[in-house]
Amino acid sequence: MSDESPIRIAVIGSGPAGFYAAGHLLKDEEAGREVDMLERLPTPWGLVRSGVAPDHPKIKSVTRVYEKTAAHPRFRYFGNVCFGEHVSREELLAHYHAIVYATGSPLDRPLGIPGEELPGSHAATEFVGWYNGHPDHTGLEVDLVSAERAVVIGNGNVAVDVARMLMLTAEELAPTDTADHALEVLARSRVREVVVAGRRGPAQAAFTNPELLELGVMADADVVVDGEELERALAVHDEAAEQDQTARRNVEILREYATRTPTEGRRRIVLRFLLSPTELIAGDDGALAAVRFVRNELVPGEGGSLRARATEETETIAAGLVFRAIGYRGEPLPGVSFDERRATILNEGGRVLDPETHEPLAGEYVVGWIKRGPSGVIGTNKKDAQETVDALLADFGTSTNGSSGSAGSSLHTPAEPDAAAVEALLRERQPALVTYEGWEAIDRHERGLGEPAGRPRVKLTQIEEMLRVAAAE
Ligand code: NAP
């Protein structure tokens, strides 16, 4: 393809996966490819803005890489534009050679147990969005005053983030970009203890070493591990965990935690294992009062891993708050092929497949969590996006370095591949479209608000506010 007829690609979603895909696509200057990114919010960066914990600013600095991509002359950002609402799949296929879906996994996975919807029971996805100022979750009511104990279900990094955020002091939170509404509620919190409950053992936990270590150095919370419970779970040999460096180190860290004696009067993060919730129990006021668990034992599961099997023993833990941190779930996009079982877009190596024939669909690709499921860290998306971009470029007869290759079977030819035409269409459908300059105005505004208090930014959390600031530009 030459400059006269560049490949034009629409990337749907502006999180890490979308930006890595855009970066890979634009890398070859000679190829003249053009990338338009559509984002449903006015603001970019996906989970880097609304998922990464506010006390992890270093992780957030990855946006500098995405800013470089956004500055590329052949990149355009169309924020506040919702795929399926303002523009359809068919319309995009009429304007672009390819669509790359990068919409992530915005939903929570339900536990499927009685009482899950009781007041006081929250999906971690919502709580994380709430403290990070995601406009969808600003209205979440989190009562941290009525309960002294919270239970977090799950043993992944999100569970650890939630436990830590609940136990950070006001002083620790002050220099972060935690949403102001959350800072106020967290400052008044009367929660003294957070119990993190995993259904399997310490060797099978999904959290990573640095995140687990952070729990051991909190300003006003001790980490508590029952050595007897730990060793009971570790008594069942797990060959896969034995081979896994992260799992081995997690076990070492937890064994050290088990030797610690908590200080009277300090708050606590209690790490429990081999417990599956079976029911959330309401108190007289109808709100959550306790969690009933069944104790598990570890037995051989699929592919050499160990799975949790319920025993006859139960345990009830009084708690007014539950955060369900058992993983995220993908959401189908209107008109796009979806694999219900995996909750991902049906694909092979990033090529979207026809649901009937399972053959690649011309011009449709997918990256990130909505491609492979909600796993891995931010950097995982770089390699993941490369696989998809390689497939796309192979289909269009070019390699990443711009040299010609054999055209694949999925070549798509849009009816109207005109940059101005699609922009006109999007602006007609969404007059409040936010350009990258609009986002930069929001960014400057937020940083300016944060500066006097030594915070990286004060986030705008209402769409109308963001649009006002973007429009002032
Ligand atoms: P995750 O890593 O998949 O962990 C989910 C946890 O929930 C697992 O412990 C799992 O246990 C448990 N679980 C699943 N179904 C359950 C059920 N029905 N009952 C009880 N427990 C259940 O998911 P995540 O914590 O949401 O994290 C998503 C991804 O984002 C991960 O790759 C994570 O590393 C990443 N992340 C990274 C950071 C960071 O780097 N700081 C921060 C946040 C998130 P089993 O193992 O038994 O299934």
Is pLDDT above 80 for 410?
no
User: What average pLDDT does range 385-410 have in this prediction?
Assistant: 70
Residues 6+ apart with CB under 8 A from 203: 233, 234, 238, 241, 242, 247, 248, 250, 251
Question: In angstroms, how far is CA 423 from the centroid of its own chain?
Answer: 29
Distance 131 CA to ligand 1 centre (A): 19
- Tell how strand 360-366 and strand 98-101 pair up: parallel
Q: What percent of the chain has pLDDT over 90?
A: 92
Distance 210 CA to ligand 1 centre (A): 15
Indicate whether residue 421 lines ligand 1 (CB < 6 A).
no
User: What average pLDDT does range 69-90 have in this prediction?
Assistant: 98
| pLDDT score at 401 | 43
User: What average pLDDT does range 27-44 have in this prediction?
Assistant: 95
Closest ligand 1 atom to residue 155 Cα is 9
Could you give the domains of the chain?
A: 8-106+330-434 (3.40.50.720), 108-328 (3.50.50.60)
Residue nearest ligand 1's atom 42 by CA? 157
Distance 293 CA to ligand 1 centre (A): 19
pLDDT class for 407, splitting at 50, 70, 90? Answer: very low
Q: What is the pLDDT of residues 430-471, one digit of tens each?
A: 999 999 999 999 999 999 999 999 999 999 999 999 999 999
Mean pLDDT of the chain: 95
Residues 6+ apart with CB under 8 A from 441: 469, 470, 472, 473
Q: What is the pLDDT of residues 321-334, one digit of tens each?
A: 999 999 999 999 99
Handedness of CA 20, 21, 26, 30 (dihedral sign): positive
| pLDDT score at 2 | 43
DSSP state of 113: -
Residue nearest ligand 1's atom 16 by CA? 326
Indicate whether residue 206 lines ligand 1 (CB < 6 A).
yes
Residue nearest ligand 1's atom 15 by CA? 326
Indicate whether residue 446 lines ligand 1 (CB < 6 A).
no
Indicate whether residue 153 lines ligand 1 (CB < 6 A).
yes
Indicate whether residue 210 lines ligand 1 (CB < 6 A).
no
Distance 428 CA to ligand 1 centre (A): 41
| pLDDT score at 316 | 98
Is pLDDT above 70 for 340?
yes
Is pLDDT above 70 for 352?
yes
Distance 72 CA to ligand 1 centre (A): 35
Is pLDDT above 80 for 405?
no
pTM: 0.95
Q: What is the pLDDT of residues 99-152, one digit of tens each?
A: 999 999 999 999 999 999 999 999 999 999 999 999 999 999 999 999 999 999
Indicate whether residue 327 lines ligand 1 (CB < 6 A).
yes
Is pLDDT above 90 for 411?
no
DSSP state of 332: -
Indicate whether residue 18 lines ligand 1 (CB < 6 A).
no
Range with lowest mean pLDDT among 67-76, 82-91, 294-303:
294-303
For residue 384, which of 106, 21, 33 has the smallest C-alpha distance? 21
Q: What percent of the chain has pLDDT over 70?
A: 96
Q: What is the pLDDT of residues 204-247, one digit of tens each?
A: 999 999 999 999 999 999 999 999 999 999 999 999 899 999 99
User: What average pLDDT does range 48-53 have in this prediction?
Assistant: 98
More confident site: 406 or 173: 173
Is pLDDT above 90 for 3?
no
User: What average pLDDT does range 302-314 have in this prediction?
Assistant: 93
| Cα distance between the two ends of the chain | 36
User: What average pLDDT does range 281-309 have in this prediction?
Assistant: 95
| pLDDT score at 347 | 98
Closest ligand 1 atom to residue 56 Cα is 41
Indicate whether residue 155 lines ligand 1 (CB < 6 A).
yes
